[in-house]
Structure 1
Amino acid sequence: MIKLSGFFFVLLFSVQIAVAQDQQFVYDNKVYLPEIRTVQCYNTQKEQSLPVIALNSNELLYFSFDNLNGGSKIYSYTIEQCTSDWKPSRLSPLDYLQGMSEDRITAYKYSFGTLQQYTNYSLTLPNQQIKPKISGNYLLKVYENGNPQKPVVSQRFYVVDKQVTIGVNITASPQVNLRRTHQKVDFTISHSNPIQNPTLDLKAVVMQNGIPQTASWNKTPTFIRPGSLVYNDVNNNDFPGGNEFRKFDMRSFRYKAENVKEIIRDTINKVILFTDLNGNAAKFTNQFDENGSFFIRNSEGRDPNTDSDYARVYFTLNSAVPNTAGDAYVLGRFNNYIPNEASKLVYDAATKRFHTSIQLKQGLYDYKYVWLDKQADKTDLTVFEGSFFETENTYQVYVYYRKPGSRWEELIGFVNVNTTKR
């Protein structure tokens, strides 16, 4: 009887482990395994551009990631059409895909001459196997051994079928108390085909620097005119200008480049950055940045994807602890601007500094420090960085349209505008 009970205990324990290993995809940019690093996804026309391509065009998306465990794995992928607010559209793959519904990632290379061994996997979309045939939001899903219950990476991207023209105007905030700190985005959608009920059938989303967490929804036009819809409500699309991104350069481990204080090469590479100061100053200082992007580079190697090594990068912020209860994080496109344990800073009361370390691949990186207010459950970009209307930012406008009787939302317009290069 005792042996039988032990058998059932082991069986139950094994079932629990199997269940724990199975996960569900979320409709967001996410890495599901700790050994997966350096996810990149962009339009091949410009490195680290936003993952937006035109429907039925020659434009391609490049997608890649590293597995720090090395070796070779069997990874499959598929894409799923989503609603404008990133929920399943419930369409059949036959409705939105040409070719196959899933395929394997066959392009992979092993790292060369690096302390950290890894395997780099990549693919381009659309390809001969998988091609979207309607516009909209899409989620790329990568999973292991052909099992969607074993997710590896999920990545958002956009397919646009341009049917409207979007004009954008960016100014300082019209609200007097925000005029020195905020940027106001007004836009007009010009259309040649009639849109009978724009309040119900049309949605426009405005983002700052392609950061999903900044999305501002526009469902009702301020003015409806023949052939155009005007969105210039005083209280909408008013964004904190923030400050220019901080940055560091570790393309080489032989010499110390921008913002690098010390390089230690031992069993692992260590890169210690100079201590950052609180940027919430009274005066704006202009500085060139890449609006949060990162670029994988290696000064001594030929192929940055396989010759670039990894390093433990040490961040230090000299700043007082904010008055509200919360935690500090270091964020950028390299970690999808997600505040989690991997991006959290620890406060050292003895030195009165925040610090953390993150394992990153060689290259150039933009980053910012943010404060997550626990009570408000909201990140504040201004506590450590300040906010100025002069800050150079890019803004994106996405226009979605559901035709009367249609079962999905089309992405019929997209524009990317820089505050200084309009």
Structure 2
Amino acid sequence: MYKKLLIPFFIFFCLSLFSQNIKSIQLRPLQENNFSSIVPLGIVLELSFDDLEADSKEYQYKIEHKTHNWKSSRLLASQYINGFEQNYINNATNSFNTLQSYTHYSVQIPNTNTVITKSGNYLLSVLNEDEEVVFTRRFVLYENQTTVGVSVARSRDTKTLNTQQTVQFFVNHPTLKINNPGQEIKVVVLKNNNWNEKITELQPTFFKPNQLVYSHTNKTNFWGGNEYLNFDSKYIRTNSLNIIQVDKREVYHHFIYPFTFNPYKKYMYNPDVNGQFVIRTLEASEATTEADYAMMHFSLSVDEPFAEKEVYVYGAFSNFEVMEAHKMVYHAAEKTYKGNFLLKQGFYNYTYATVDRRGVVNTNEVNGTFYETENEYTVLVYYKPFGAFYERVVGVGTGFFNQNE
């Protein structure tokens, strides 16, 4: 059975009504162009987001330790945090000189009130004044106790030779005593930092002295997908990359270059950032509070609507979830799906996802899937020896598809 790029369906109506006005959520290291929230223990992550109601609410953050499969762990907060697991987000700044008003919030972790002491999976929740969850984000803190080598190649299965990629890897553990790898070691293979595209429950194929080898063929196959589409709204008043029209109304309206569906399209290399986005403006000095919001208009041309399926705009800007606000509507007279929603100025990757009546999301149906696509794969190694109370993340490795391999 092949691993398919079909993920369980969540119409992400948002975790509460309050989150409908929350935009531009990012949880990233401070380093520029680093989009991953999988970092070594002790590295600073910054959470930031905007509230379009612009009324300076009192938000709090809460941090919870999780298992490798995101269940509640056995640890108490005092066992993995020095300080408090729940605190107020005090850094709030109002937007300046923008048509769309908003309040920008940010907090860095660790900070003087919250120091995380153990590696592992963590769920970061933001709570409103009534302590209701507004949104959540995942992050992983790891120790460099192992060396993880990752290679990515074209699928070896003739049925998916042109559409899938195979991930293989090894784990060197010279300083860790592993008596029963099947019980003590868990691995997760993640595609493009998207927790909806992962493979788990893998066992080593070979055991060597101080090394575990995972040389599966079909079990670690991912759909290659395609390079993401993109646009750049760094100029709010004029056209920019893939933006063909700008109108000023209650806010600026940007019309993105239409995408035409072609079921017979061939792969074409187009550098992307694997679905991520960067907030930026070239018309002000401080993007966090001076970048404006624009109503982005998306259009997908196709002769007939996708039978018994809905179409959504999809990317990291929605945490790789399909959201009701990003749903597109088919206009039969124009033979085009259309949709629009607010996004802060910046460079964005996006694609289109279809959702069938069973609630299955398919991110390949519109844009295609090819073995040549440049994807980043991350392997996380979790270690829980017999008698331990929690899973440590003892190693992380990354690999990229290379057509020459």
Bin the TM-score by the shorter chain: over 0.9
Q: Which residue of 1 aligns with 2:20?
A: 34
Question: What are the equivalent positions in structure 2 for 1:250-399 lying under 5 Å apart?
Answer: 250-278=233-261, 280-321=263-304, 324-375=307-358, 377-399=359-381
Matched, 1:132 2:132: no
Equivalent position of 1:87 in the other structure: 71
Tell which has more relative contact order, 1 or 2 (C-alpha 8 A, sep 6+). Answer: 2
In structure 2, the gaps of 5 or more residues are 1-9
Contact 1:54 1:160 in 2 (8 A): yes
C-alpha deviation, 1:410, in angstroms: 1.1
Superposition map of 1:209-228 within 5 A: 209-228=192-211
Equivalent-residue separation in structure 2 for 1:45 and 1:233 (angstroms): 34
Matches within 5 A, 1:180-199: 180-192=162-174, 193-199=176-182
Structure 2 counterpart of 1:409, which letter? E
SS at match of 1:243: coil
Matching residue of 1:4: none
Deviation track 1:349-397 (CA, whole Å, cap 9, x = no partner) reads 221111111111011110011111224x322222111111111111111
Structure whose alpha-carbon radius of gyration is higher = 1
**Counterpart amino acid of 2:33?**
E
1:416 deviates by 2.5
Could you give the per-residue CA deviations for residues 5-57 of structure 1, whole angstroms, max 9, x where no partner exists? xxxxxxxxxxxxxxxxxxxxx9x9966321111101111123342112212x4
Partner of 2:184: 201
| 1:13 alignment counterpart | none
Change (3 A) 1:364 1:126: same
> Are 2:88 and 1:104 equivalent residues in the alignment?
yes
Structure 1: distance between partners of 2:303 and 2:194: 27
Partner of 2:7: none
Match of 1:69 in 2: 53
Over 3 Å counting, the alpha-carbon distance change for 1:390 and 1:302 in structure 2 is: same
Structure 2 partner of 1:156: 138
* 2:373 aligned partner, one-letter code: T
Provide the aligned C-alpha RMSD in A: 2.0
Residue 172 of structure 1: how far off its partner (Å): 0.3
Contact 1:63 1:124 in 2 (8 A): yes
Counterpart contact for 1:48–1:294, Cα < 8 Å:
no
Distance 1:360 1:235 in 2: 39
Distance 1:29 1:287, change over 3 A: farther
Select between 31-40 and 169-178 the one with higher mean Cα deviation. Answer: 31-40
Residue in structure 2 matched with residue 18 of structure 1 by the alignment? none
Contact 2:97–2:290 at 8 Å: present in 1 too? yes
SS of the residue 1:199 aligns to: helix
In 2, the alpha carbon distance for the partners of 1:325 and 1:394 equals 32
Post-superposition offset of 1:168:
0.8
Change (3 A) 1:279 1:246: farther
Change in CA separation of 1:322 and 1:233 when aligned onto 2, cut-off 3 Å: farther
**Helix, strand or coil: the match of 1:154?**
strand
C-alpha distance in 2 between matches for 1:257 and 1:323: 30
Query: What is the rounded CA distance, in whole Å, between the counterparts of 2:274 and 2:15 in structure 1?
Result: 22
Cα distance change, pair 405–132 in 1 and its aligned pair in 2 (3 A):
same
* Structure 1: unaligned runs, 5 residues or longer: 1-25
- The counterpart of 2:382, out of the listed 392, 400, 417, is 400
- Output the CA distance in 2 between the equivalents of 1:86 and 1:317: 35
Runs of 4+ in 1 over 6 A off after TM superposition: none
1:248 aligned residue (215, 224, 231): 231
Distance in 2 between residues matched to 1:60 and 1:124, nearest whole Å:
6
The CA deviation string for residues 274-294 of structure 1, in whole angstroms up to 9 with x for no partner, is 211125434211111111010
CA deviations over 1:240-266 (Å, ceiling 9, x no partner): 111110001111123211111110112
Change (3 A) 1:48 1:277: farther
Q: Please report the TM-score for the alignment, with normalisation by the length of structure 2.
A: 0.92
- Give the count of matched residue pairs: 391
Deviation for aligned residue 1:400: 0.9
- The structure with the greater share of residues assigned to helix is 1
Q: Look up the SS of the partner of 1:214 in the other structure.
A: strand
SS at match of 2:371: coil
**TM-aligned CA deviation for residue 219 of structure 1:** 3.1
Q: Distance in 2 between matches of 1:282 and 1:340?
A: 27
